Amino acid sequence: MGGRSTAIRLRSGGLWVLASTPLDTETKAKLDELGKVKYIVSPDIVHHLHLSEFKKAYPEAKLLGVEGTSTRMEDKALEFDGVWGKDAPNTKYGFEDDVQYCFFSGFKNKDVAFFHPESKTLIQADLLFNLPCYEQYSKSKMPILGYLKPSLWFQQRTVGSLSINTAAMKRDATTVANWNFQRIIPCHGDVIENDGNKVWRDVYKAFIA
List per-residue pLDDT tens for the chain, 209 residues long: 678 999 999 998 899 999 999 999 999 999 999 999 999 999 999 988 899 999 999 999 999 999 988 888 778 788 999 999 999 988 999 999 999 999 999 999 999 999 999 999 999 999 998 877 777 665 555 555 556 778 778 888 888 888 999 999 999 999 999 999 999 999 988 899 999 999 999 999 999 97
In a 13 Å sphere around the CA of 195, the CA atoms on its Cβ side amount to: 7
**Is the full-model pTM beyond 0.85?**
yes
The answer to whether the peptide bond before residue 132 is cis (omega within 30 degrees of 0) is yes
Closest CA to 67 of 55, 77, 82: 82
Which residue ranges form the domains of the chain, and what is each CATH number? 6-87+98-203 (3.60.15.10)
